[in-house]
């Protein structure tokens, strides 16, 4: 959703974002460069997450967005992994709140599986998988 120019999907996504907010439907738009994001999209996103930014321009833009919502965002360039500022306009938040989220909501092994274990699991999956039936056309 570039702020400058147009793409084939831009009008449709802009309308979808407006309708999604109206009907409390969730959409996720993510960017590493917030300045290049279409303002109409940002304006229709009631819940916003702000994470670590590295470039001076991105830091300035993210801080400005947080300050517009009543926060400071001074630590944007030093936020640790999994730490974000969150703001929800529809929830009546006075300012963005910092929160820490788990990096993953599911279990992941500390090390990748060995090749033999992958092959064993694949073979077990083939023997235990239900047969697929062809449906009449």
29 domain residue, yes or no: yes
Is residue 87 within 8 A of residue 69, CB to CB? The reply is yes
% of the chain at pLDDT higher than 70: 84
Q: How far is CA 34 from CA 51, 104, 137, in A?
A: 11, 24, 50
pLDDT value of position 67? 93
pLDDT class of 27 with cuts at 50, 70, 90: confident
pLDDT value of position 15? 87
84 domain residue, yes or no: yes
Residues 37-47 have a mean pLDDT of: 80
Which residue range forms the structural domain that includes residue 91? 10-128
HSE-CB at 24 with a 13 A cutoff on CA atoms is 4
Residues 12-27 have a mean pLDDT of: 83
Number of domains in the chain: 1
CATH of the domain at 38: 3.40.50.300
Nearest of 70, 48, 80, 74 to residue 59 by alpha carbon = 74
pLDDT in tens, 74-117: 999 999 988 999 998 888 888 999 998 877 666 677 888 889 98
């Amino acid at each position: 959703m570039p702020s400058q120019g147009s793409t084939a999907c831009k009008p449709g996504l802009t309308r979808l974002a407006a309708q999604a907010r109206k009907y409390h439907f969730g959409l996720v738009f993510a960017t590493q460069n917030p300045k290049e994001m279409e303002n109409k999209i940002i304006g229709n996103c009631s819940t916003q997450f702000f994470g670590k930014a590295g470039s001076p321009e991105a830091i300035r833009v993210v801080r400005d967005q947080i300050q517009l919502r009543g926060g400071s965002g001074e630590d944007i360039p030093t936020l640790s992994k999994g730490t974000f500022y969150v703001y929800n306009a529809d929830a009546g938040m006075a300012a963005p709140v910092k929160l820490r989220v788990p990096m993953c909501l599911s279990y992941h092994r500390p090390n990748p599986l060995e090749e033999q274990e992958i092959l064993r699991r694949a073979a077990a999956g083939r023997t235990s998988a239900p047969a697929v039936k062809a449906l009449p056309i």
